[in-house]
Amino acid sequence: MTKYSKTAIALHWIIAILIVANVVLASMSEDLPRAARAAYMDPHKAIGISILVLSLFRLFWRIGHKPPPLPEKITGWQSTLGKAVHALFYFLIIAVPVTGWLMVSARPDAPPVDFFGLFALDLPIADSKALSGFGHEGHEILTKPLVILIFLHVLGALKHQFMDRLPFLQRMFP
C-alpha cells in the first residue's frame, strides 16, 4: 500500500477540520443580532485566512510531490473524475477564503481581519460596496459546492474502502 506523504496527510486533515469549523461557526452566527455575530465571525475570518495560507502551501506541495499511484482496479473514468474533483477542491479552498477576505476588505465600515489577536490583515483595495457585494456573493455561492464536494468526497472514499475493498482510507491516515 502506498500512502501520501506525512506533510500531505497533515495538510489534508488540518484544512478539512478548519473548513468544518468554519462552516459550523458561520451557521451558528446566521440568525444572531449583528453585535453577537462577532464572537463567531471573528474566528471564522481568521480561520478562513488560515485555510487560504495552508491551501496555497498544500497546492505548492502537491505540485512538487507526486501523489501515490491509484490502485489498479480504479478505471480510467474514475481516475479522471478524481483528478477533476481534486482540481475543483483546490480552486474552492482558495477561492472561498479569497472572496470572504475581499468582502471584508472592500466594505467601507469593516475593520481588518483580526488574526487571533496577533495582527490585523486587510487587502490593499479601495472601499467599495460593489466589490464587497461581489465578494459576499462569491463567498456564499462558492461555499455551497464546497460543502457538497466534501460530502461526495467522503462518500467516494467510503465507497472505495468498503464496497470496492480498496485501501483508500489508509492512504490518507497518519
Q: What is the pLDDT of residues 47-56, one digit of tens each?
A: 999 999 999 9
d(Cα 26, Cα 4) in Å, to the nearest integer? Answer: 31
> What confidence tens digit (pLDDT) does each residue in 123-149 have?
888 889 999 999 999 999 999 999 999
Q: Cell 453585535, residue?
A: 35
Measured from the Cβ of residue 25, the count of other Cβ atoms closer than 10 Å reads 19
Residue 116, sorted as left (phi over 0), alpha (psi -120 to 50) or beta, turns out to be left
6-171: CATH number: 1.20.950
In angstroms and rounded to an integer, the radius of gyration of the C-alpha atoms of the chain is: 18
pTM score of the predicted model: 0.92
